[in-house]
Amino acid sequence: MRVIAVQTLKEYYHKERKAEQSLLAWYKETENATWKTPNELKNQFANASIISDKRVVFNIHGNTYRLVVDIEYKLQIVFIVWLGTHQDYDKINIKTVAYVKTNQKKE
């Protein structure tokens, strides 16, 4: 999979150091994946939450952080939509949150 907005991950883990290893591990696994369906993704990331046919939420660092992505399975692209703490995640509308840098915009 090609991950779009990797810079968002880097900016976040420079700010939140304890998230670094978990985000890098997620990135490496995702980059090497070739999911064609949400079911294939769930086989690899059983704790991921499938919100819609495109939107997925990953638990990062023991669920301390949440990573929201949109996936274009046919194009093999993962778009990073939102990244933040679990507490901040509880304040957003997961279905409407838009592409943003780290977690500057919350809905």
Look at residue 96 in the predicted model and tell me its pLDDT: 85
Judge contact between 33 and 1, C-beta under 8 A: yes
Q: What is the C-alpha to C-alpha distance for residues 43 and 82, in angstroms, rounded to an integer?
A: 23
Q: Which of 18, 4, 3, 8 is CA-nearest to residue 83?
A: 8
pLDDT tens per residue across span 39-77: 999 999 999 999 999 999 999 999 999 999 999 999 999
Rounded Cα distance, 89 and 75, in Å: 27
The pLDDT tens digits for 11-33 are 999 999 999 999 999 999 999 99
Nearest one of 7, 90, 12 to 21, comparing CA atoms = 12
* Residue 60, Cβ density class (10 Å: 0-12 exposed, 13-18 middle, ≥19 buried): buried
